[in-house]
Structure 1
Amino acid sequence: MENQHPPAFPLDTVMSYAELRAAGATRAGIREALATGALRRARRDVYVGGGVHETVVAAQRVGGRLDCISAVAAAGVFVLDRSSLYVQVEPTHSRLRSPTSRRRSLTAASDVVVHWRHSERGAAHSIPLTEALAVAVRCQGRRASIAMLDNALYQCLIDEADLGDLFAGLPSKYAALRPLLDGRAEAGSESIARLLLKNLGCSVQVQVQIDGVGRVDLLIDGWIVVECDSRAHHAGWEAQERDRLRDLLLAERGYVVIRPTASMIFSDPKLLRRAVHGLRSSAAVHR
């Protein structure tokens, strides 16, 4: 009698039906795994583990591997814009499908960016993070790329050696980005705010410890504190009370505090620049 319990399905590869059977899965076990969500069929004869990121399934449905910005985001690294699906497809492949239905062909309206290039990844369903980061640098703006690499460094997903390899594989024009990286930034919004304010000509310090208060995200010109708030860490009344107490303690010590949300920094970056410019101008007038 066939074993009804298939082996655990790998989360980093794709498998065909024949490969599932060769690995010890029974026909009944595969049917059960599909029914329970432990296994997913992305397209004809292409199966992935049920625990993979949804964009992995979408990329396989298209006919390639998760790539570039989408692979970076799936790895938990900050990316500024997730609106498109990035897929690496072998140059010899054809019959690309919609990311939402394997029964429909891929159209220009699908918000899919296809990178036609060869990969040595074999059965892997996604491009490795270091390769995905390098490709993503080419596909987005300067600030977004720096914020992405900052976050990968902050999470210790890459190190200086990885950065060396990454920039060595990029055109020389991207070398100017490397001195601007700072792995101390705890969020993408901090990285982008730092770059905006440095462009304003400010002195910007990152993750500064202030006696009696704690660490602040950014310290501008030694007296303006910029705290880049996100809903995840500043929601709820208790969190707001802690923030307001910190603001009062900072004011007591002579600091001015502004708290742009991450959404404000991303959607209207000039607003933060105007706010800091206004404070600096006012201080100059009253000296």
Structure 2
Amino acid sequence: MDTGVYRWGYLLQRAPRIELRHAVAEGTLIRLRRGWYATSAADRQVEYAVRAGGVLSCASALRLHNVWVRRTDRVHIRGNDGTARAHPEWCRQSGRQPPEIEAVDDLFTALRHAAHCLGPEDFIVVCDSVINLGLMTQSDLSAEFAGRSRFVDRVLSKVDGRAESGIETMVRLRLRAARIRARPQVSIPMIGRVDFLVGTSLIIEVDGAEFHQNKDAYENDRLRDLQAHAFGYHPVRLTYEQVVYQWDRVGPLIVELVRRGEHMRRVEVSPLGTTLT
């Protein structure tokens, strides 16, 4: 991962010292702190973390590894044992802090800090994303955190890996907490794959933030909703904001739909013909 922030030793392996000194003097190579330098095109969060005395870790590092992470303004920084004591607000992992090898932590190190820093739901979200992206398997995760704590074991038992976005994971966990059985990623003939199917007829789709910028996706999904209605299904479409910030209003409405039996409608296209993917 090239973030534009490097150790001096790394730079010396790729350019003569005299050229690097000229780059520093000209301002094309910027000293962040002793032993660490950045180019003018460096990732700003990485530059901020290193300038502060640590490296990028936890959720911020996971985002750079393309893992789905809830949007936040916080920059997750971690240090070594010495700098961590001076910055109690920084992320930590269980046990001793690892050395700072790169400006951005590798996937395993970032996950170990996330397990200690993030809440249960957010940690399940990133683990689901890691598995869905093929970066690790569920067995890899279990082996990585084996024996660390009962809390982590309980959290990992709820990891699924089929969700294609973090908000899908959030919906799955919250429906489960409400004792609503929702099957994820179900293919329905004549309609296609849906995010969740509750019972025989309640379809729940989750639209990511990028969905609202894609006119074709918007049009296609509205047509698919109409098809679902025509076959007797009850499609419900949730936005990022509704899942992340308005669940206290959205959740009870879904519970009410189930209480009224909207999930057990008679449908023309039998859900028995669906396949889990």
Same fold (TM over 0.5): yes
**What percent of counterpart residues are identical?**
25
Cα contact 1:67–1:127 (8 A) shared by 2: yes
203-212 or 61-70, larger mean C-alpha shift:
61-70
Give the TM-score normalised by the residue count of structure 2: 0.81
Structure 2 residue 11 is the aligned partner of structure 1 residue 20: yes
User: 2:56: which partner in 1?
Assistant: 66
1:53 corresponds to 2:30: no
Q: 2:62 & 2:170 partners in 1: Cα distance?
A: 18
Q: Which amino acid aligns with 1:238?
A: D
* Other-structure match for 2:111: 133
1: CA distance, partners of 2:151 / 2:84: 33
Count of aligned residue pairs for this structure pair: 263
User: What amino acid maps onto 1:41 in structure 2?
Assistant: R
Distance (Å, rounded) in 2 between the aligned partners of 1:89 and 1:139: 14
The unaligned stretches of length 5 or more in structure 1 are 1-8, 97-105
- Equivalent residue, structure 1, for 2:252: 274
- The Cα of 1:283 is off from its aligned counterpart by 2.7
Give the 5 Å matches for 1:113-128.
Answer: 113-115=90-92, 118-128=96-106
Instruction: Give, in whole Å, the separation in 1 of the partners of 2:147 and 2:4.
Output: 25
Q: Aligned partners of 2:25 and 2:158: how far apart in 1?
A: 47
Equivalent in 178, 182, 203 of residue 200 of structure 1:
178
After TM superposition, list the pairs within 5 Å mapping 1:19-168 onto structure 2: 20-21=11-12, 23-28=14-19, 31-32=22-23, 39-48=29-38, 52-93=42-83, 113-115=90-92, 118-168=96-146
- CA shift for structure 1 position 33: 7.9
Contact 1:67–1:88 (8 Å) recurs in 2? yes
Q: Aligned to 2:81, what secondary structure does the other structure show?
A: coil
Task: For residue 214 of structure 1, report the CA deviation from its aligned partner.
Answer: 0.9
Which residue identity is paired with 2:243?
I
Q: Structure 2 CA distance, aligned partners of 1:124 and 1:233?
A: 34
Structure 2 alignment gaps of length 5 or more: 266-277
Secondary structure of the corresponding residue to residue 162 of structure 1: helix
Are the counterparts in 1 of residues 32 and 38 from structure 2 also a CA contact under 8 Å? yes
| C-alpha contact (below 8 Å) 2:165/2:208 kept by paired residues | no
In structure 2, what is the Cα distance between the partners aligned to 1:78 and 1:189? 9
Looking at structure 2, the residues matched to 183 and 194 of structure 1 have their Cα atoms a distance apart, in angstroms, of: 11
RMSD between superposed Cα atoms in Å: 3.2
| TM-score, length basis structure 1 | 0.78
CA separation in 2, counterparts of 1:159 and 1:12?
A: 30
Report the CA distance shift for 1:140/1:115 in structure 2 as closer, same or farther (over 3 A).
closer
Q: For 1:216, which of 173, 187, 194 is the aligned residue?
A: 194
